[in-house]
Amino acid sequence: MTVQATSDRMTAHGDFLKSLGIENKPIVRLQQVHGGRAVRIDAKTDISAEIPGADAAVTNVKGVVLSVRTADCLPVFFYDPEHAAIGIAHAGWRSTKERISPAVAGLMKSAYKSDPSKLIVGFGPALRQCCYEVKSEFLVHFPDSVVKMAHRHYFDIAGENAEQLLSCGVGSKNIFDCGICTSCRNTEFFSYRKEKDAAGRMLSVIMLDGK
């Protein structure tokens, strides 16, 4: 299995894929509509264009690259070592509200008989609670993942996704978080919160090795 997230500001996505030796592999790109839909990719799926209306994908086809683009949203990687299946999700706050991470775990369970307790999940770079200031209305959607500090509210998107995964059976010891804040480390990572429309997009990919 190959998992990677790029943050190099001087590296185009094509160069990034080339650096991994997967530039000629079929790559799945999602429309990323900030929703809760996950799709299954098989050998017959047309991936010549973006998969419409999807923010997550799963597959058990070797050599197919699943990808998401982010610049503050949370990239979430899934791996089932027992059934050789993978998944990836683009978890912004709207997708998180729609429970995109549990949607991936659920789809892997139905499609590949994955046991959620045996899934290995990784969180990539994202806007963290230290910098993710939100309006108080977020308390309605995420009452346990918004904290108030100095009369301001801050959202823990990684913590919320972790709690959602725990609630659907993923083991706490199987959730790995890089802990990187894209805003705090904006010289290395794109951050829409900090750069607005000037922000680029990081490409995160996951693939099962083999043909």
What is the set of domains in the chain, with CATH numbers?
2-128+174-207 (3.60.140.10)
pLDDT, position 207: 97
Burial class (CB in 10 A: 0-12, 13-18, 19+), 184: middle
pLDDT, position 104: 98
Q: What pTM was computed for the model?
A: 0.94
Burial class (CB in 10 A: 0-12, 13-18, 19+), 127: buried
pLDDT, position 11: 64
Are 150 and 133 contacting, i.e. CB atoms less than 8 angstroms apart?
Answer: no
**7 phi and psi, to 5 degrees?**
-135, 0
pLDDT, position 6: 61
Are 76 and 161 contacting, i.e. CB atoms less than 8 angstroms apart?
Answer: yes
The two tokens of residue 150 are 């100095």
Neighbours of 169 (CB within 10 A): 15
Q: Are strands 120-123 and 175-177 parallel, antiparallel or unpaired?
A: parallel
pLDDT, position 205: 97
Report which residue type is found at 165: L
Hunting for tokens 């990808």 — which residue is that?
A: 67
pLDDT, position 66: 98
The two tokens of residue 78 are 């899934």
- Please give the Cα distance from 41 to 114 (Å, whole number): 16
CA dihedral 176, 115, 96, 52 (to 10 degrees): 110
Please name which of 87, 123, 124 lies closest in space to residue 108, comparing C-alpha atoms: 87
The two tokens of residue 136 are 């108080």
Tens digit of pLDDT per residue, the chain (211 long)? 656 666 555 567 888 999 999 999 999 999 999 999 999 999 999 999 999 999 999 999 999 999 999 999 999 999 999 999 999 999 999 999 999 999 999 999 999 999 999 999 999 999 999 999 999 999 999 999 999 999 999 999 999 999 999 999 999 999 999 999 999 999 999 999 999 898 899 999 999 997 6
pLDDT, position 12: 76
- Helix ranges, the chain (H): 13-19, 93-97, 100-112, 138-141, 157-167, 192-195
The two tokens of residue 100 are 């995109």
Q: Is 92 helix (H, G, I), strand (E, B) or coil?
A: coil
